[in-house]
Chains A and B, each alone.
Chain A
Amino acid sequence: MTSIAYRKMARHRLGWLITGVTLLLLSILIDLSTGPALLNIYDVFSTFFSPEKMSDPMVYVIVHNIRLPMTMMAIVVGASLGAAGALMQTILGNPLASPYTLGFSAAAGFGAAVTILFGLELPYFPELSVPFFAFIAASTACALVYGVAQLKGVTAEVMVLSGIATLFLFQSLQSLAQYMASPEVLQEIVFWLFGSMLKANWFSVSVGSSIFLFSVLVLTKDCWKLTALRLGDDRALSLGVNVQRLRLKVFAVVSLLTAGAVAFVGTIGFIGLVAPHIARMLVGEDHRLLLPFSSITGAVLMVAASIISKVISPGSIVPIGIVTAVVGVPFLFGLILTNKRGS
Protein backbone atom coordinates (compact mmCIF):
# COMPACT_ATOMS: atom_id res chain seq x y z
CA MET A 1 0.00 0.00 0.00
CA THR A 2 1.28 3.49 -0.82
CA SER A 3 2.28 5.73 2.08
CA ILE A 4 0.06 8.36 3.69
CA ALA A 5 2.48 11.04 2.47
CA TYR A 6 2.10 9.90 -1.13
CA ARG A 7 -1.69 9.76 -0.96
CA LYS A 8 -1.67 13.22 0.61
CA MET A 9 0.49 14.51 -2.24
CA ALA A 10 -1.80 12.94 -4.86
CA ARG A 11 -4.82 14.62 -3.21
CA HIS A 12 -2.89 17.89 -3.06
CA ARG A 13 -2.22 17.73 -6.81
CA LEU A 14 -5.82 16.93 -7.60
CA GLY A 15 -6.77 19.90 -5.44
CA TRP A 16 -4.57 22.17 -7.57
CA LEU A 17 -6.24 20.84 -10.71
CA ILE A 18 -9.69 21.65 -9.30
CA THR A 19 -8.46 25.07 -8.14
CA GLY A 20 -7.11 25.75 -11.63
CA VAL A 21 -10.42 24.90 -13.28
CA THR A 22 -12.33 27.03 -10.74
CA LEU A 23 -9.97 29.97 -11.32
CA LEU A 24 -10.45 29.60 -15.06
CA LEU A 25 -14.26 29.63 -14.79
CA LEU A 26 -14.12 32.66 -12.50
CA SER A 27 -11.76 34.55 -14.80
CA ILE A 28 -13.99 33.73 -17.80
CA LEU A 29 -16.96 35.32 -16.02
CA ILE A 30 -14.96 38.43 -15.08
CA ASP A 31 -13.56 38.71 -18.61
CA LEU A 32 -17.04 38.50 -20.13
CA SER A 33 -18.23 41.21 -17.73
CA THR A 34 -15.28 43.52 -18.44
CA GLY A 35 -15.10 45.90 -21.37
CA PRO A 36 -16.09 49.34 -22.64
CA ALA A 37 -19.78 48.46 -22.19
CA LEU A 38 -19.97 47.78 -18.46
CA LEU A 39 -21.99 44.63 -17.68
CA ASN A 40 -22.52 42.98 -14.36
CA ILE A 41 -21.92 39.27 -13.76
CA TYR A 42 -25.67 38.63 -13.29
CA ASP A 43 -26.38 39.98 -16.80
CA VAL A 44 -23.64 37.80 -18.24
CA PHE A 45 -25.11 34.77 -16.47
CA SER A 46 -28.55 35.61 -17.80
CA THR A 47 -27.39 35.59 -21.43
CA PHE A 48 -26.48 31.92 -20.99
CA PHE A 49 -29.20 30.56 -18.74
CA SER A 50 -32.27 32.79 -19.27
CA PRO A 51 -31.78 34.94 -22.39
CA GLU A 52 -35.56 35.25 -22.86
CA LYS A 53 -35.87 37.23 -19.60
CA MET A 54 -33.30 39.84 -20.61
CA SER A 55 -34.58 43.39 -20.88
CA ASP A 56 -31.78 44.66 -23.14
CA PRO A 57 -31.05 42.47 -26.21
CA MET A 58 -27.78 44.35 -26.79
CA VAL A 59 -26.30 42.64 -23.73
CA TYR A 60 -26.78 39.28 -25.42
CA VAL A 61 -25.14 40.53 -28.62
CA ILE A 62 -22.18 42.05 -26.73
CA VAL A 63 -21.55 38.89 -24.71
CA HIS A 64 -22.13 36.25 -27.39
CA ASN A 65 -21.00 37.98 -30.57
CA ILE A 66 -18.17 40.20 -29.35
CA ARG A 67 -16.76 39.11 -25.99
CA LEU A 68 -17.29 35.34 -25.99
CA PRO A 69 -15.20 34.67 -29.14
CA MET A 70 -12.38 36.80 -27.65
CA THR A 71 -12.53 35.00 -24.31
CA MET A 72 -12.71 31.58 -25.98
CA MET A 73 -9.75 32.48 -28.19
CA ALA A 74 -7.79 33.59 -25.10
CA ILE A 75 -8.50 30.17 -23.56
CA VAL A 76 -7.51 28.29 -26.72
CA VAL A 77 -4.32 30.32 -27.23
CA GLY A 78 -3.35 30.11 -23.54
CA ALA A 79 -4.01 26.36 -23.40
CA SER A 80 -2.13 25.73 -26.65
CA LEU A 81 0.91 27.81 -25.66
CA GLY A 82 0.92 26.36 -22.13
CA ALA A 83 0.97 22.79 -23.45
CA ALA A 84 3.44 23.67 -26.23
CA GLY A 85 5.81 25.23 -23.69
CA ALA A 86 5.67 22.22 -21.37
CA LEU A 87 6.30 19.86 -24.29
CA MET A 88 9.16 21.97 -25.58
CA GLN A 89 10.85 22.11 -22.17
CA THR A 90 10.54 18.33 -21.89
CA ILE A 91 11.84 17.34 -25.31
CA LEU A 92 14.69 19.85 -25.20
CA GLY A 93 15.48 19.22 -21.51
CA ASN A 94 15.75 22.98 -21.14
CA PRO A 95 13.77 25.09 -18.66
CA LEU A 96 14.19 28.18 -20.85
CA ALA A 97 12.58 26.57 -23.88
CA SER A 98 9.22 27.85 -25.08
CA PRO A 99 7.34 27.92 -28.40
CA TYR A 100 9.49 30.99 -29.17
CA THR A 101 12.78 29.14 -28.83
CA LEU A 102 12.65 27.45 -32.21
CA GLY A 103 11.48 30.51 -34.11
CA PHE A 104 7.90 29.45 -34.92
CA SER A 105 6.37 32.67 -33.57
CA ALA A 106 8.95 34.82 -35.34
CA ALA A 107 8.19 32.97 -38.57
CA ALA A 108 4.44 33.50 -38.10
CA GLY A 109 5.18 37.20 -37.55
CA PHE A 110 7.19 37.28 -40.77
CA GLY A 111 4.38 35.57 -42.70
CA ALA A 112 1.90 38.11 -41.38
CA ALA A 113 4.23 41.05 -42.08
CA VAL A 114 4.82 39.97 -45.71
CA THR A 115 1.08 39.46 -46.26
CA ILE A 116 0.30 42.92 -44.92
CA LEU A 117 3.25 44.54 -46.73
CA PHE A 118 2.44 43.14 -50.17
CA GLY A 119 -1.32 43.03 -49.69
CA LEU A 120 -1.46 39.29 -50.43
CA GLU A 121 -4.99 37.95 -50.54
CA LEU A 122 -6.44 34.47 -50.61
CA PRO A 123 -9.06 34.00 -53.32
CA TYR A 124 -12.60 33.74 -51.86
CA PHE A 125 -11.38 34.18 -48.26
CA PRO A 126 -9.44 37.46 -48.16
CA GLU A 127 -10.05 37.86 -44.41
CA LEU A 128 -8.08 34.66 -43.75
CA SER A 129 -5.01 35.80 -45.71
CA VAL A 130 -2.91 36.95 -42.73
CA PRO A 131 -3.58 33.87 -40.53
CA PHE A 132 -3.07 31.58 -43.51
CA PHE A 133 0.33 32.98 -44.47
CA ALA A 134 1.37 33.26 -40.81
CA PHE A 135 0.54 29.55 -40.45
CA ILE A 136 2.46 28.68 -43.63
CA ALA A 137 5.53 30.62 -42.46
CA ALA A 138 5.44 28.96 -39.02
CA SER A 139 5.17 25.55 -40.70
CA THR A 140 8.15 26.44 -42.92
CA ALA A 141 10.22 27.25 -39.83
CA CYS A 142 9.17 23.93 -38.36
CA ALA A 143 10.14 22.09 -41.56
CA LEU A 144 13.53 23.82 -41.55
CA VAL A 145 14.39 22.77 -37.98
CA TYR A 146 12.90 19.31 -38.57
CA GLY A 147 15.00 18.86 -41.73
CA VAL A 148 18.25 19.85 -40.01
CA ALA A 149 17.45 17.56 -37.08
CA GLN A 150 16.74 14.65 -39.43
CA LEU A 151 20.05 15.15 -41.21
CA LYS A 152 22.25 15.80 -38.18
CA GLY A 153 20.56 13.74 -35.44
CA VAL A 154 17.50 14.41 -33.33
CA THR A 155 19.31 15.60 -30.22
CA ALA A 156 18.21 18.47 -28.00
CA GLU A 157 21.41 20.38 -28.84
CA VAL A 158 20.91 20.16 -32.62
CA MET A 159 17.26 21.20 -32.32
CA VAL A 160 17.96 24.16 -30.02
CA LEU A 161 20.83 25.37 -32.20
CA SER A 162 18.95 25.09 -35.51
CA GLY A 163 15.84 26.55 -33.84
CA ILE A 164 17.69 29.59 -32.54
CA ALA A 165 19.24 30.11 -35.98
CA THR A 166 15.72 29.95 -37.47
CA LEU A 167 14.51 32.43 -34.84
CA PHE A 168 17.20 34.95 -35.80
CA LEU A 169 16.59 34.38 -39.51
CA PHE A 170 12.86 35.13 -39.28
CA GLN A 171 13.37 38.02 -36.86
CA SER A 172 15.73 39.60 -39.38
CA LEU A 173 13.29 39.00 -42.24
CA GLN A 174 10.50 40.44 -40.08
CA SER A 175 12.60 43.56 -39.44
CA LEU A 176 13.34 43.84 -43.16
CA ALA A 177 9.61 43.73 -43.95
CA GLN A 178 9.00 46.45 -41.35
CA TYR A 179 11.87 48.55 -42.74
CA MET A 180 10.36 48.36 -46.24
CA ALA A 181 6.84 49.25 -45.09
CA SER A 182 5.20 52.67 -45.34
CA PRO A 183 4.23 54.26 -41.98
CA GLU A 184 0.57 53.13 -42.37
CA VAL A 185 1.49 49.55 -43.25
CA LEU A 186 4.15 49.50 -40.53
CA GLN A 187 1.50 50.45 -37.99
CA GLU A 188 -0.66 47.54 -39.14
CA ILE A 189 2.28 45.09 -38.96
CA VAL A 190 3.29 46.27 -35.49
CA PHE A 191 -0.31 45.96 -34.27
CA TRP A 192 -0.41 42.36 -35.53
CA LEU A 193 2.90 41.58 -33.86
CA PHE A 194 1.63 42.93 -30.52
CA GLY A 195 -0.94 40.15 -30.39
CA SER A 196 -4.57 41.07 -29.90
CA MET A 197 -7.78 39.21 -29.18
CA LEU A 198 -9.69 41.72 -31.30
CA LYS A 199 -8.78 39.53 -34.28
CA ALA A 200 -10.67 36.58 -32.76
CA ASN A 201 -13.92 35.23 -34.19
CA TRP A 202 -15.77 31.93 -34.05
CA PHE A 203 -13.87 30.59 -37.06
CA SER A 204 -10.48 31.19 -35.42
CA VAL A 205 -11.80 29.68 -32.17
CA SER A 206 -12.96 26.53 -33.96
CA VAL A 207 -9.67 26.13 -35.89
CA GLY A 208 -7.54 26.77 -32.77
CA SER A 209 -9.57 24.45 -30.56
CA SER A 210 -9.60 21.69 -33.22
CA ILE A 211 -5.80 21.83 -33.42
CA PHE A 212 -5.59 21.75 -29.62
CA LEU A 213 -7.93 18.75 -29.32
CA PHE A 214 -6.14 16.93 -32.13
CA SER A 215 -2.81 17.48 -30.33
CA VAL A 216 -4.25 16.19 -27.06
CA LEU A 217 -5.47 13.04 -28.82
CA VAL A 218 -2.15 12.48 -30.57
CA LEU A 219 -0.12 12.78 -27.35
CA THR A 220 -2.41 11.07 -24.84
CA LYS A 221 -0.59 7.76 -25.21
CA ASP A 222 2.82 9.37 -24.79
CA CYS A 223 2.40 10.90 -21.32
CA TRP A 224 4.55 8.31 -19.56
CA LYS A 225 7.19 8.40 -22.30
CA LEU A 226 7.44 12.17 -21.88
CA THR A 227 7.69 11.69 -18.12
CA ALA A 228 10.54 9.20 -18.69
CA LEU A 229 12.34 11.79 -20.81
CA ARG A 230 12.66 13.98 -17.70
CA LEU A 231 15.22 11.43 -16.45
CA GLY A 232 17.44 12.06 -19.47
CA ASP A 233 17.81 10.45 -22.88
CA ASP A 234 19.88 7.49 -21.65
CA ARG A 235 17.40 6.43 -18.99
CA ALA A 236 14.40 6.95 -21.28
CA LEU A 237 16.14 4.82 -23.93
CA SER A 238 16.90 2.13 -21.40
CA LEU A 239 13.20 2.04 -20.47
CA GLY A 240 12.35 1.23 -24.08
CA VAL A 241 11.36 4.75 -25.22
CA ASN A 242 12.29 5.57 -28.80
CA VAL A 243 13.60 9.02 -27.89
CA GLN A 244 14.28 10.23 -31.44
CA ARG A 245 10.84 9.28 -32.72
CA LEU A 246 9.14 10.79 -29.67
CA ARG A 247 11.11 14.03 -30.00
CA LEU A 248 10.18 14.41 -33.68
CA LYS A 249 6.52 13.62 -33.05
CA VAL A 250 6.26 16.10 -30.16
CA PHE A 251 8.16 18.69 -32.16
CA ALA A 252 5.59 18.44 -34.98
CA VAL A 253 2.74 18.76 -32.47
CA VAL A 254 4.35 21.79 -30.80
CA SER A 255 4.77 23.55 -34.14
CA LEU A 256 1.14 22.86 -34.99
CA LEU A 257 -0.07 24.12 -31.59
CA THR A 258 2.06 27.27 -31.82
CA ALA A 259 1.17 28.04 -35.42
CA GLY A 260 -2.53 27.48 -34.68
CA ALA A 261 -2.36 29.82 -31.68
CA VAL A 262 -0.34 32.72 -33.06
CA ALA A 263 -1.58 32.73 -36.67
CA PHE A 264 -4.94 34.24 -35.69
CA VAL A 265 -4.10 36.56 -32.82
CA GLY A 266 -0.47 37.53 -33.39
CA THR A 267 2.61 37.08 -31.28
CA ILE A 268 1.81 36.26 -27.66
CA GLY A 269 4.90 36.01 -25.49
CA PHE A 270 5.75 34.64 -22.09
CA ILE A 271 2.74 32.30 -21.59
CA GLY A 272 4.56 29.35 -23.17
CA LEU A 273 7.54 29.90 -20.87
CA VAL A 274 5.87 30.68 -17.57
CA ALA A 275 2.77 28.42 -17.57
CA PRO A 276 4.77 25.14 -17.56
CA HIS A 277 6.97 26.40 -14.71
CA ILE A 278 3.96 27.30 -12.59
CA ALA A 279 2.37 23.95 -13.40
CA ARG A 280 5.55 22.01 -12.61
CA MET A 281 5.90 23.69 -9.23
CA LEU A 282 2.32 22.85 -8.30
CA VAL A 283 1.68 19.38 -9.75
CA GLY A 284 5.15 17.99 -10.47
CA GLU A 285 6.47 16.37 -13.64
CA ASP A 286 4.09 13.48 -14.20
CA HIS A 287 2.91 14.51 -17.68
CA ARG A 288 -0.56 13.07 -17.12
CA LEU A 289 -1.04 16.06 -14.82
CA LEU A 290 1.62 18.47 -16.06
CA LEU A 291 0.23 18.82 -19.59
CA PRO A 292 -3.41 19.51 -18.62
CA PHE A 293 -2.31 21.80 -15.79
CA SER A 294 0.06 23.74 -18.07
CA SER A 295 -2.86 24.23 -20.44
CA ILE A 296 -5.17 25.37 -17.63
CA THR A 297 -2.48 27.72 -16.26
CA GLY A 298 -1.84 29.14 -19.73
CA ALA A 299 -5.57 29.69 -20.22
CA VAL A 300 -5.98 31.39 -16.80
CA LEU A 301 -3.01 33.69 -17.50
CA MET A 302 -4.34 34.60 -20.95
CA VAL A 303 -7.85 35.36 -19.68
CA ALA A 304 -6.37 37.35 -16.77
CA ALA A 305 -4.24 39.26 -19.28
CA SER A 306 -7.37 39.85 -21.35
CA ILE A 307 -9.12 41.35 -18.30
CA ILE A 308 -6.16 43.63 -17.54
CA SER A 309 -5.87 44.67 -21.20
CA LYS A 310 -9.44 46.00 -20.92
CA VAL A 311 -9.08 47.83 -17.62
CA ILE A 312 -5.67 49.49 -18.15
CA SER A 313 -7.13 52.14 -20.39
CA PRO A 314 -10.91 52.46 -19.85
CA GLY A 315 -12.88 52.61 -23.07
CA SER A 316 -10.19 50.89 -25.15
CA ILE A 317 -8.48 47.50 -25.31
CA VAL A 318 -4.68 47.37 -25.06
CA PRO A 319 -3.20 44.56 -27.22
CA ILE A 320 -3.03 41.49 -24.99
CA GLY A 321 0.53 40.59 -26.07
CA ILE A 322 1.72 43.70 -24.22
CA VAL A 323 0.28 42.65 -20.86
CA THR A 324 0.92 38.88 -20.73
CA ALA A 325 4.26 39.31 -18.95
CA VAL A 326 2.68 41.82 -16.54
CA VAL A 327 0.30 39.05 -15.43
CA GLY A 328 2.74 36.13 -15.58
CA VAL A 329 5.75 37.58 -13.76
CA PRO A 330 4.06 38.24 -10.37
CA PHE A 331 2.57 34.72 -10.48
CA LEU A 332 5.96 33.17 -11.13
CA PHE A 333 7.87 35.30 -8.61
CA GLY A 334 5.26 34.51 -5.97
CA LEU A 335 5.66 30.80 -6.57
CA ILE A 336 9.46 30.91 -6.65
CA LEU A 337 9.51 32.72 -3.30
CA THR A 338 6.92 30.50 -1.60
CA ASN A 339 7.80 27.12 -3.12
CA LYS A 340 9.66 24.85 -0.73
CA ARG A 341 12.48 22.89 -2.33
CA GLY A 342 11.45 19.31 -2.82
CA SER A 343 7.96 19.79 -1.51
Chain B
Amino acid sequence: MLEISHLNVSYDSVKILDDLNFKLERGSFTALLGPNGTGKSTLLKAMANLIPSSGEVTFCEDDQSTRNARANVCAYMPQDTGIASTLTVLEVVLLGRIVSLGLTVPKAILDEASQYLNRFGLENFESRRLNTLSGGQRQLVYLAQSLFRDPSVLLLDEPTSALDLRHQLIVLDHVANYCRNLKGTAVAAMHDLSLAAKYAQRIICLSEGRVIADGTPEKVLTKALIRKVYRVEADVFSGTNGVLHITALAAC
Protein backbone atom coordinates (compact mmCIF):
# COMPACT_ATOMS: atom_id res chain seq x y z
CA MET B 1 0.00 0.00 0.00
CA LEU B 2 2.64 2.53 1.08
CA GLU B 3 6.27 1.64 0.81
CA ILE B 4 9.28 3.63 1.94
CA SER B 5 12.61 2.42 0.68
CA HIS B 6 16.05 3.90 1.33
CA LEU B 7 14.60 7.27 2.26
CA ASN B 8 17.24 9.87 3.12
CA VAL B 9 16.89 13.56 3.93
CA SER B 10 19.73 15.97 4.65
CA TYR B 11 19.80 19.67 5.53
CA ASP B 12 23.11 21.41 4.86
CA SER B 13 24.96 18.08 4.80
CA VAL B 14 23.45 17.06 8.18
CA LYS B 15 21.59 13.79 7.83
CA ILE B 16 18.07 14.07 9.28
CA LEU B 17 16.68 10.76 7.99
CA ASP B 18 19.04 7.89 7.44
CA ASP B 19 18.03 5.07 5.10
CA LEU B 20 14.49 4.43 6.27
CA ASN B 21 12.65 1.35 4.99
CA PHE B 22 9.15 0.18 5.91
CA LYS B 23 5.77 -0.74 4.46
CA LEU B 24 2.36 0.31 5.74
CA GLU B 25 -0.81 -1.70 5.20
CA ARG B 26 -4.01 -0.19 3.90
CA GLY B 27 -6.43 0.71 6.70
CA SER B 28 -3.71 0.87 9.35
CA PHE B 29 -3.00 3.59 11.89
CA THR B 30 0.70 4.01 12.61
CA ALA B 31 2.14 6.26 15.29
CA LEU B 32 5.58 7.79 14.79
CA LEU B 33 7.30 8.20 18.13
CA GLY B 34 10.61 9.60 19.28
CA PRO B 35 11.98 12.62 21.14
CA ASN B 36 12.05 16.09 19.61
CA GLY B 37 14.44 16.45 16.68
CA THR B 38 14.54 12.80 15.68
CA GLY B 39 13.02 13.41 12.25
CA LYS B 40 9.30 12.62 12.70
CA SER B 41 8.06 15.82 11.03
CA THR B 42 10.75 15.54 8.37
CA LEU B 43 9.65 11.99 7.59
CA LEU B 44 6.02 13.08 7.17
CA LYS B 45 7.05 15.98 4.91
CA ALA B 46 9.26 13.70 2.83
CA MET B 47 6.37 11.23 2.48
CA ALA B 48 4.17 14.09 1.29
CA ASN B 49 6.95 15.17 -1.12
CA LEU B 50 7.12 18.63 0.43
CA ILE B 51 10.87 18.57 0.95
CA PRO B 52 13.71 17.18 -1.18
CA SER B 53 14.62 13.61 -0.38
CA SER B 54 16.33 10.64 -1.94
CA GLY B 55 14.95 7.13 -2.00
CA GLU B 56 11.45 6.08 -2.84
CA VAL B 57 8.01 6.64 -1.42
CA THR B 58 5.51 4.52 -3.30
CA PHE B 59 1.74 4.73 -2.93
CA CYS B 60 -0.47 1.95 -4.29
CA GLU B 61 2.35 0.78 -6.55
CA ASP B 62 1.86 3.89 -8.70
CA ASP B 63 4.50 6.50 -9.28
CA GLN B 64 3.30 9.61 -7.43
CA SER B 65 6.61 11.39 -7.55
CA THR B 66 5.34 14.83 -8.55
CA ARG B 67 4.08 17.11 -5.83
CA ASN B 68 0.61 17.55 -7.31
CA ALA B 69 0.14 13.85 -7.94
CA ARG B 70 1.25 13.08 -4.38
CA ALA B 71 -0.99 15.85 -3.00
CA ASN B 72 -3.99 14.14 -4.58
CA VAL B 73 -3.20 10.85 -2.89
CA CYS B 74 -2.06 11.92 0.55
CA ALA B 75 -3.20 14.68 2.83
CA TYR B 76 -0.54 16.12 5.10
CA MET B 77 -1.75 18.02 8.15
CA PRO B 78 1.02 20.19 9.63
CA GLN B 79 1.21 21.13 13.30
CA ASP B 80 -1.18 23.93 14.17
CA THR B 81 1.01 27.02 14.13
CA GLY B 82 -1.90 29.17 15.24
CA ILE B 83 -1.81 31.44 12.17
CA ALA B 84 -4.68 33.84 12.77
CA SER B 85 -6.42 33.61 9.42
CA THR B 86 -9.82 35.22 9.10
CA LEU B 87 -11.00 32.69 6.50
CA THR B 88 -14.33 31.12 7.37
CA VAL B 89 -14.49 27.51 8.47
CA LEU B 90 -16.33 26.46 5.30
CA GLU B 91 -13.70 28.17 3.11
CA VAL B 92 -10.93 26.31 4.94
CA VAL B 93 -12.65 22.97 4.35
CA LEU B 94 -13.31 23.83 0.68
CA LEU B 95 -9.58 24.39 0.21
CA GLY B 96 -9.22 20.63 0.62
CA ARG B 97 -10.48 20.34 -2.96
CA ILE B 98 -8.41 23.27 -4.24
CA VAL B 99 -7.52 21.51 -7.50
CA SER B 100 -11.16 21.29 -8.56
CA LEU B 101 -12.28 24.76 -7.41
CA GLY B 102 -12.95 27.50 -9.93
CA LEU B 103 -14.26 31.05 -9.70
CA THR B 104 -17.64 29.62 -8.80
CA VAL B 105 -18.06 26.67 -6.45
CA PRO B 106 -20.76 24.16 -7.45
CA LYS B 107 -23.52 23.79 -4.88
CA ALA B 108 -22.81 20.05 -4.65
CA ILE B 109 -19.25 20.73 -3.40
CA LEU B 110 -20.49 23.35 -0.93
CA ASP B 111 -23.06 20.91 0.43
CA GLU B 112 -20.50 18.14 0.68
CA ALA B 113 -18.09 20.38 2.60
CA SER B 114 -20.95 21.31 4.87
CA GLN B 115 -21.69 17.62 5.50
CA TYR B 116 -18.07 17.07 6.50
CA LEU B 117 -18.38 19.80 9.09
CA ASN B 118 -21.58 18.21 10.41
CA ARG B 119 -19.71 14.95 10.80
CA PHE B 120 -17.21 16.72 13.07
CA GLY B 121 -19.92 18.45 15.10
CA LEU B 122 -19.12 21.79 13.50
CA GLU B 123 -22.47 22.36 11.79
CA ASN B 124 -22.90 25.85 13.26
CA PHE B 125 -19.37 26.95 12.46
CA GLU B 126 -19.51 27.38 8.68
CA SER B 127 -19.47 31.17 8.71
CA ARG B 128 -17.22 31.50 11.80
CA ARG B 129 -13.77 32.89 11.16
CA LEU B 130 -10.87 30.58 11.92
CA ASN B 131 -9.20 33.07 14.27
CA THR B 132 -12.22 32.97 16.58
CA LEU B 133 -12.01 29.20 17.19
CA SER B 134 -10.20 27.42 20.01
CA GLY B 135 -7.13 25.30 19.21
CA GLY B 136 -9.19 22.11 19.43
CA GLN B 137 -11.93 23.38 17.15
CA ARG B 138 -9.30 24.61 14.67
CA GLN B 139 -7.64 21.20 14.66
CA LEU B 140 -11.01 19.57 13.91
CA VAL B 141 -11.52 21.99 11.01
CA TYR B 142 -8.11 21.11 9.59
CA LEU B 143 -8.86 17.41 9.99
CA ALA B 144 -12.19 17.91 8.21
CA GLN B 145 -10.27 19.68 5.43
CA SER B 146 -7.78 16.81 5.16
CA LEU B 147 -10.52 14.18 5.00
CA PHE B 148 -12.56 16.31 2.55
CA ARG B 149 -9.70 15.69 0.11
CA ASP B 150 -10.65 12.02 0.25
CA PRO B 151 -7.02 10.92 0.57
CA SER B 152 -5.69 7.38 0.54
CA VAL B 153 -3.06 8.34 3.10
CA LEU B 154 -3.39 10.77 5.98
CA LEU B 155 -0.16 12.21 7.38
CA LEU B 156 -0.62 14.01 10.70
CA ASP B 157 2.05 16.01 12.47
CA GLU B 158 1.26 16.07 16.19
CA PRO B 159 -2.48 16.30 15.64
CA THR B 160 -3.27 16.44 19.36
CA SER B 161 -0.59 18.84 20.54
CA ALA B 162 -2.07 21.69 22.55
CA LEU B 163 -5.49 20.03 22.73
CA ASP B 164 -7.45 19.30 25.89
CA LEU B 165 -8.18 15.66 26.79
CA ARG B 166 -11.62 15.58 25.21
CA HIS B 167 -10.45 17.07 21.91
CA GLN B 168 -7.46 14.70 21.81
CA LEU B 169 -9.88 11.77 21.95
CA ILE B 170 -12.31 13.28 19.42
CA VAL B 171 -9.54 13.96 16.87
CA LEU B 172 -8.00 10.51 17.22
CA ASP B 173 -11.43 8.80 17.13
CA HIS B 174 -12.01 10.45 13.75
CA VAL B 175 -8.63 9.26 12.49
CA ALA B 176 -9.33 5.73 13.74
CA ASN B 177 -12.73 5.78 12.00
CA TYR B 178 -11.07 6.93 8.78
CA CYS B 179 -8.76 3.92 8.89
CA ARG B 180 -11.43 1.46 9.95
CA ASN B 181 -14.39 2.58 7.82
CA LEU B 182 -12.76 4.19 4.79
CA LYS B 183 -9.76 1.85 4.65
CA GLY B 184 -7.43 4.83 4.69
CA THR B 185 -3.86 4.68 5.95
CA ALA B 186 -2.93 7.12 8.72
CA VAL B 187 0.51 8.01 10.03
CA ALA B 188 0.70 10.39 12.99
CA ALA B 189 3.71 11.85 14.75
CA MET B 190 2.83 11.79 18.45
CA HIS B 191 4.29 12.52 21.86
CA ASP B 192 1.62 10.98 24.09
CA LEU B 193 2.68 7.35 24.39
CA SER B 194 -0.56 6.19 26.05
CA LEU B 195 -2.68 7.71 23.30
CA ALA B 196 -0.40 6.15 20.69
CA ALA B 197 -0.82 2.77 22.37
CA LYS B 198 -4.61 3.18 22.52
CA TYR B 199 -5.17 4.16 18.90
CA ALA B 200 -2.30 2.92 16.75
CA GLN B 201 -1.96 -0.68 15.56
CA ARG B 202 1.68 -0.09 14.87
CA ILE B 203 4.41 2.04 16.41
CA ILE B 204 7.52 3.17 14.57
CA CYS B 205 10.06 4.66 16.92
CA LEU B 206 12.74 6.97 15.54
CA SER B 207 16.03 7.97 17.07
CA GLU B 208 18.56 10.19 15.31
CA GLY B 209 16.84 9.70 11.97
CA ARG B 210 16.73 5.92 12.12
CA VAL B 211 14.03 3.40 12.94
CA ILE B 212 15.07 1.75 16.17
CA ALA B 213 11.84 -0.11 16.93
CA ASP B 214 8.88 -1.11 14.80
CA GLY B 215 5.90 -3.22 15.76
CA THR B 216 2.74 -3.40 17.85
CA PRO B 217 2.46 -1.09 20.89
CA GLU B 218 2.98 -4.05 23.22
CA LYS B 219 6.19 -5.02 21.46
CA VAL B 220 7.68 -1.52 21.13
CA LEU B 221 6.58 0.37 24.23
CA THR B 222 8.74 -1.29 26.87
CA LYS B 223 10.41 0.30 29.86
CA ALA B 224 13.82 -0.45 28.35
CA LEU B 225 13.02 1.24 25.04
CA ILE B 226 11.52 4.30 26.71
CA ARG B 227 14.61 4.63 28.87
CA LYS B 228 16.89 4.25 25.86
CA VAL B 229 15.02 6.58 23.49
CA TYR B 230 13.50 9.20 25.79
CA ARG B 231 15.94 8.87 28.71
CA VAL B 232 12.98 8.61 31.02
CA GLU B 233 12.08 6.05 33.70
CA ALA B 234 8.50 5.01 33.01
CA ASP B 235 5.90 2.68 34.35
CA VAL B 236 4.27 0.58 31.61
CA PHE B 237 1.18 -1.43 32.52
CA SER B 238 -1.87 -2.90 30.89
CA GLY B 239 -5.21 -1.30 31.81
CA THR B 240 -8.50 -3.07 32.43
CA ASN B 241 -9.40 -2.77 28.73
CA GLY B 242 -6.07 -4.31 27.70
CA VAL B 243 -4.62 -1.03 26.47
CA LEU B 244 -1.11 -0.06 27.54
CA HIS B 245 -0.67 2.89 29.87
CA ILE B 246 2.64 4.64 30.16
CA THR B 247 3.40 6.92 33.09
CA ALA B 248 6.64 8.86 33.06
CA LEU B 249 8.30 8.71 36.47
CA ALA B 250 11.63 10.53 36.22
CA ALA B 251 14.17 11.82 33.72
CA CYS B 252 17.37 9.76 33.73
Interface residue ranges of B75-123 to A (CB < 8 Å):
75-78, 81, 83, 85-88, 90-92, 95-96, 98-99, 101, 103, 110-111, 114, 123
Q: Which residues of B contact A241 (CB under 8 A)?
A: 98
Cross-interface CB contact of B91 among A5, A220, A227, cutoff 8 Å: A227
A303 located at the interface, meaning its Cβ lies under 8 Å from any Cβ of chain B in the complex = no
Given contacts A223-B103, A240-B72, A286-B87, contact A2 B129 (CB under 8 A): no
Contact: B126 with A6, CB < 8 Å? yes
How far is A286 from B102 in the complex, measured between Cα atoms in Å?
12
How far is A124 from B17 in the complex, measured between Cα atoms in Å?
64
Interface string of A279-291 (1 = CB under 8 A from B): 0100011101000
Contact: A228 with B81, CB < 8 Å? no
B189 located at the interface, meaning its Cβ lies under 8 Å from any Cβ of chain A in the complex = no
Question: Closest CB-CB distance, B147 to chain A, in whole Å?
Answer: 13
How far is A164 from B70 in the complex, measured between Cα atoms in Å?
37
Cross-interface CB contact of A239 among B87, B98, B128, cutoff 8 Å: B98
Contact: B67 with A6, CB < 8 Å? no
From DSSP, what is the main secondary structure of chain B's interface residues? mixed
Q: Which residues of A contact B96 (CB under 8 A)?
A: 239
Cross-interface CB contact of A342 among B48, B72, B78, B132, cutoff 8 Å: B132
Contact: A240 with B71, CB < 8 Å? yes
User: Looking at chain A, what size class is its interface with the partner chain?
Assistant: 20 to 34
Given contacts A220-B103, A230-B85, contact A235 B78 (CB under 8 A): yes
Given contacts A3-B123, A3-B126, A234-B81, contact A286 B91 (CB under 8 A): yes
Nearest CB in chain B to that of A281: its residue = B86
Given contacts A6-B127, A223-B103, contact A284 B78 (CB under 8 A): no
Q: Report, nearest first, the 3 A-B pairs whose CB atoms are least far apart.
A: A240-B71, A342-B132, A6-B126
Chain A: residues with CB nearer than 8 A to chain B? 1-3, 5-6, 8-9, 220, 223-225, 227-228, 230-232, 234-235, 237-242, 280, 284-286, 288, 341-342
Chain B: residues with CB nearer than 8 A to chain A? 48, 50, 67-68, 71-72, 75-78, 81, 83, 85-88, 90-92, 95-96, 98-99, 101, 103, 110-111, 114, 123-124, 126-129, 131-132, 142
